[in-house]
Amino acid sequence: PRATRADLPTNDSLQQVLIVSYNNRRLGLVVDRFLRQQNIVVKPLSKPLDTIDLFGGVTLLGSGQLCLVLDVPALTRLFLAKRP
């Protein structure tokens, strides 16, 4: 999966969107803000969180905070399954 940042205009401000690409499909995810891009090591989730399909794992940020990592293929499949 690949990701790109985009700023889209709304009525009175810019809306930040993360564009993810997977399997020749592109989805736009609206985000509150972009922090920074960094390399991470993704660790698998432990029970009971490992049953949540939309998260591919967890990482520890340089600040010491835990961060859930989205599973882009699962997110794409969910979106396509719910499309009319």
Domain boundaries, the chain: 2-82
Threshold 0.75, pTM exceeds = no
Angle, vertex CA 81, rays to CA 76 and CA 84, nearest 5:
120
Q: What confidence category does residue 44 fall into, taking pLDDT thresholds of 50, 70 and 90?
A: very high
Residue 57 pLDDT exceeds 90: yes
In the structure encoding, which two tokens stand for residue 12, read together? 């009175």
* Residue 69: predicted pLDDT: 92
| Environment class of 72 (CB within 10 Å of its CB; exposed 0-12, middle 13-18, buried 19+) | buried
Q: Show Cβ contacts of residue 49 under 8 Å, excluding neighbours closer than 6 positions.
A: 55, 58
Average pLDDT over residues 27-52: 87
CATH code 2.40.160 for 2-82? no
**Distance, first Cα to last Cα, the chain:** 24
| Environment class of 17 (CB within 10 Å of its CB; exposed 0-12, middle 13-18, buried 19+) | middle
